[in-house]
Chain A
Amino acid sequence: MNRTFDVAIAGGGIVGAACAAECARAGMSVALVERELVGSGATAAGMGHIVVMDDSAAQFALTRFSQRLWHEMSAEFPSEVEFEPTGTIWVAADDDEMAEVRRKHEYYAARGVRTEILDQHSLREAEPNLRLGLAGGLLAPEDAVVYPPCAALYFWKRARDAGATLISGTVAKLEAGNLQLAEGTVIAAGVTVNAAGAWASELTAGVKIRKRKGHLLITDRYPEFVRHQLVELGYLKSAHSVTSDSVAFNVQPRRTGQLLIGSSRQYDNESKNIDHDILQRMLERACAFMPGIGPLSSIRAWTGFRAATPDKLPLIGPWPESPGLFLATGHEGLGITTSLATARLLVDQIAGRPSEIAIQPYLPSRSFTESHV
């Protein structure tokens, strides 16, 4: 059975689901094609941290815009989305990192984002289970956490309520004008969208996406053990390190009282299996910042694959080699945060309307320079 839509989206992760909702609500007929379940890939594997970041001006603009969209929508969320405005604390280990705290504070303040500098004492008050001797931190109170699979499902339901169709199947071929499923069905569409995350380059040759493997571990319930999403400022060094495997202290409190413990980053490891060496390094890092984690009961460890681009910015817009084919991928570790902004920018481009933020930094046609940090 062959069908025709205005838009056919390959990939029902949180980005694809958000794009489907935005397109359908703009009046387009939409097919969302997912090989397993909505929000079951990297969306389910990740933490679900809504965070403003400033690795680059473009990253700041996109994350800030998207964070606002999350807050605007949050009143509608059903409880299972678990939207919790916990805020983020960027933890500074030493004076060097405190200098970064102050820089970040000023950068954010100049752009209207409220943050609060925590000294050694107030950091300890905010998070008593952090180890002694940390220099301080930066509290970003507008950051939040969500349960990503249910957020993706909610986005999909918005799309469905606006008339979108969910098609279960594996995309074998994606090009301008049509999308072909492995079992043979051809879906014709005015616009096709590659939202296949870390698998995007397998559908569209030449797209500069690499799989970047991550590990997470979840504990039993320890309410109030951690109150904010905690990320070490050294995370920046980790996330930016393009060449080698890296780990960083990154802990998230879930509404249930469980803790999600991350994070790791690895290229060139495409096995879904746990890499015990890096899991160990990751947990060592967590215990180094928060020694009380050691005796906590862990329930499960798992892995997932981020879609990483060379310059740490996503690919949102037309694929220059094939007009009519759009990309919405390459979000690395920020896919949950930037899903809503991505959907907005994508639909703006499809509909030919202006966007709230400059779209040039995210266009797939940009020239890539490797991140230098």
Chain B
Amino acid sequence: MKRSFDVLVIGAGPAGIAAALRAAECQRSVGLVDDNPSPGGQIWRGGVAHPNGGAPWLELLSRSSVTPLYGTRVLDQPAPGLLLAEAGETLVELRYQKLVLATGAREMFLPFPGWTLPNVMGAGGLQALVKSGLPIAGKRVVVAGSGPLLLAVAATLRGYGAEIVGVCEQASWRNLATFATRLGWRKLGQAVRLKRELVGVPFYTDCWPLSAAGHGKVERVLVSHRGSPREWACDYLACGFHLVPNTELAALLGCQLENGFVKTDRCQQTSVADVFCAGEPTGIGGVELALLQGQIAGLCAGGDQSGVVELVAQQRAMRPFAARLAKAFALRPELTALATPETLVCRCEDVTLARLRECNSWREGKLYTRCGMGPCQGRVCGPATQFILGWQPESVRPPVFPARVESLLAAASNAEVNTEPNAAMNAATNPYKNPGERS
């Protein structure tokens, strides 16, 4: 399948939706791609009414001229102005004049003894599973890690009947208090609403998981709280140590990164001509900032910059919030010592911390231990080794996400030939389930 757009937006979270809508208002043909089957991103997806105001945007989107391309995952850029994507088993070639990357962020995971046990999950991952039907009523859940998402996850899980044993925030009470007192009224209002949903849920600061244990699945969690160990029985441990930006596609396209984030100018344009970036990949800043940046990117990509100045000013005003967010939830150094020598850091390739400690760089770790070379393509262990060992990630190789071999078959730069998947090849059956299907 071939599609061509004036403006192509990758990622249908807040930033991407805002970009798509603004670009469409500029009378441009706009395509909005997301690998999930529905728009909204991690934050607005899943049917639960969300305090951050997703509904009006989603409503606008449904009435707009934006072409939805959901359930579609971008894999590669075979030639400038052309992206290759998979929609299920269908190959999609996406041509564009302007591209907006709004690829969002993912949760950061830190390895600790027992983190690979079944039912130890990403906080956002468990939230998504519960929203899509995993029964959680009556289950005891410990939510641990860092960042505002922990509370949102706890609220969702509680809404579905889970018993939240505790929410463990590694940040100090002092950091959080400083952050909270400087929140604007609107944000404070959101926090209060969230707080109301969480009445009776124990919230611990200066608290983080030390280890998880159990037979065949997690049964208890040992945490450190204000320097003292505590053990809790639980059925699930939901972990997330704040967010890591999804910069892989930007890196593949050659966009310059700075301190791990995509570098943009005031129009959200990256170092690559005609490629814009908005939202978390440019800096973890939350929904409001993402919406502003998305709108700026959409207008600039759409070619109507009349309203941009005002938006840029608003965006500037929000920057201190992003900086305070980063400071409040900065990971404490004690967390670098959670993993023991025997702890697996790379789950795909079963690489322990002890083996990685023999290496001096991400490249060396990859080369001699295969760390990061499995199906997660380093998305989990890359940020972990960056935090624990101070390693810097290196270049991204295609495909950006694991892709069917036959999808890459059609990745010719001459897009006029062999664009349809070969019927004979599709007919070939594969008796092997893909063990790499991990969320």
Contacts and interface: CB of A to CB of B under 8 A. Distances in A.
Interface stretch (A107-115, A282-290, A340-348): A282-290
Contacts of B397: 274, 300-302
Interface string A260-296: 0100000000000010110110011011000111111
A301 B412 contact: no
B233 interface: no
Given A37-B364, A40-B367, A287 B435 contact: no
A296 B413 contact: no
Interface string B394-412: 0001110011111011111
Q: Chain A CB within 10 Å — which of B89, B368, B402, B411 has the most?
A: B368
B405 A217 contact: yes
A277 B414 contact: yes
Contacts of B373: 218, 299-300
A217 B75 CA distance: 14
B71 interface: no
Interface string B168-187: 00000000000000000000
A80 B368 contact: yes
A298 interface: yes
Contact of B428 (A40, A220, A256, A292): A292
A276 B405 contact: no
Contacts of B386: none
A44 B369 CA distance: 12
Contacts of A44: 367
B367 A280 contact: no
A149 interface: yes
A152 to B, nearest CB: 9
Interface in B222-245: none
A225 B364 CA distance: 29
Interface in B388-439: 397-399, 402-406, 408-414, 418, 422, 424-426, 428-432, 434-436
B375 interface: yes
B79 interface: yes
Contact of B432 (A37, A222, A261): A222
A277 B425 contact: no
Given A276-B412, A276-B413, A150 B405 contact: no
B363 interface: yes
Contacts of B424: 291
B311 to A, nearest CB: 36
A80 B399 CA distance: 26
A39 interface: yes
A274 B398 contact: yes
A165 interface: no
A173 interface: no
A71 interface: no
Interface string A10-38: 00000000000000000000000000110
A218 B375 CA distance: 10
A298 B428 contact: no
A220 B367 CA distance: 17
Nearest to B407: A298
B374 interface: yes
A150 B414 contact: no
Contacts of A39: 367
B81 interface: no
Contact of B408 (A150, A217, A292): A217
B430 A296 contact: yes
Interface string B356-374: 0000000110011110011
B315 interface: no
Interface in B328-372: 349, 363-364, 367-370
B42 to A, nearest CB: 23
B435 A294 contact: no
Q: Chain A CB within 10 Å — which of B405, B406, B426, B435 has the most?
A: B405
Contact of A277 (B370, B413, B434, B435): B413
Contacts of B364: 37
A294 B403 contact: no
Contacts of A301: 397-399, 408
Given A291-B428, A294-B404, A295-B406, A149 B368 contact: yes
B4 interface: no
A82 B418 CA distance: 38
A39 B410 CA distance: 32
Q: Chain B CB within 10 Å — which of A150, A294, A300 has the most?
A: A294
B408 A299 contact: no
A219 B412 contact: no
Nearest to A300: B397
A298 B368 contact: no
B368 A153 contact: yes
Nearest to B376: A299
Interface string A117-160: 00000000000000000000000000000000110010000000
A39 B368 CA distance: 9
Contact of A280 (B398, B410, B436): B410
A37 B408 contact: no
Given A217-B405, A291-B424, A277 B377 contact: no
B404 A295 contact: yes
Contact of A297 (B349, B418, B422, B436): B436
Contacts of B432: 222, 225, 296
B408 A279 contact: yes
Contact of B404 (A280, A298, A300): A298
B368 A300 contact: no
A220 B436 contact: yes
A279 B411 CA distance: 8
Q: Chain B CB within 10 Å — which of A221, A295, A302 has the most?
A: A295
B402 A277 contact: no
A279 B399 CA distance: 12
B78 interface: yes
A34 to B, nearest CB: 12
Contacts of A297: 375, 402-405, 434, 436
Interface string A218-255: 11111001000000000000000000000000000000
Interface string A24-67: 00000000000011011000100000000000000000000000
B378 to A, nearest CB: 10
Contact of A287 (B76, B79, B403, B405): B405
Contact of A220 (B375, B410, B431): B375
B405 A37 contact: no
A305 to B, nearest CB: 16
A299 B367 CA distance: 16
B408 A283 contact: yes
Contacts of B434: 220, 296-297
Nearest to A221: B435
Nearest to A43: B367
**6 closest Cβ contacts across the A-B interface?**
A294-B406, A220-B436, A291-B428, A294-B425, A295-B430, A276-B78
18 contacts: A220-B374, A220-B375, A220-B402, A274-B397, A276-B76, A277-B412, A277-B413, A280-B412, A283-B409, A287-B425, A291-B428, A293-B405, A294-B406, A294-B409, A294-B422, A296-B404, A297-B436, A299-B402
Given A36-B363, A284-B409, A292-B428, 7 more contacts: A286-B405, A287-B405, A293-B405, A295-B89, A295-B425, A297-B434, A298-B404
Interface of A: 36-37, 39-40, 44, 80, 149-150, 153, 217-222, 225, 256, 261, 274, 276-277, 279-280, 283-284, 286-287, 291-302
